[in-house]
Amino acid sequence: MSDPSQISRLDKLRVTREYLAYQVQRMDQTIRDLEAAERQERRRAELARADQGWKIQPKQGEVPPVLHRGGCAVFGAKDGHRLNRTEARLAVTHETYIVKCEICTPETGLLPE
């Protein structure tokens, strides 16, 4: 007859399986947390990159195109054409065709280095 104080092999395996299932759940949660953190970091990097650039608000009727900083809330179009520093400098040299936003003052980022 078996000793009642002894845990059977089957019970040991069940306990081990429960523990391993718990570990898998914890690992899955850690993976989800890390994936979410990576997505947030990628988004922050995209926003920072967009804020550093410039964009042009297209001409609307008689209003000429307007140059904005990438993060300007006045013209928040995400699909607008992004400009690099050289393109933005060229744009401000043609002030008769393109005006600068008075809110975000895009020319401040175009000062000579």
Per-residue pLDDT, 99:
84
If asked whether residues 39 and 60 sit together in one domain, one would say no
User: 33-89 pLDDT, tens per residue?
Assistant: 999 999 999 999 887 776 778 888 888 888 888 888 888 888 876 656 778 888 888
Residues 45 and 58 in one domain: no
Same domain, 44 and 83: no
What domain range is 11 assigned to?
7-52
pLDDT higher for 36 or 106? 36
Confidence check: pLDDT of 24 > 70: yes
Residue reference for tokens 């759940």:
25
Residue 16, pLDDT > 90, answer yes
Banded pLDDT at 4 (limits 50, 70, 90): low
pLDDT value, residue 2: 60
pLDDT band with cut points at 50, 70 and 90 for residue 95: low
- Measured CA to CA, the distance from residue 82 to residue 59 in angstroms comes to 15
Looking at the fold, whether 45 and 73 belong to one and the same domain comes out as no
Whether residue 1 lies inside any domain: the answer is: no
Does residue 2 fall inside a structural domain? no
40 plus 22 within the same structural domain: yes
Phi and psi at 54, nearest 5°, equal: -135, 160
Same domain, 16 and 35: yes
pLDDT at position 90 over 90 = no
Whether residues 71 and 48 fall in one domain: no
Same-domain status, 62 and 46: no
- Compute how many other C-beta atoms are within 10 angstroms of the C-beta atom of residue 67: 27
Tally of domains in the chain? 2
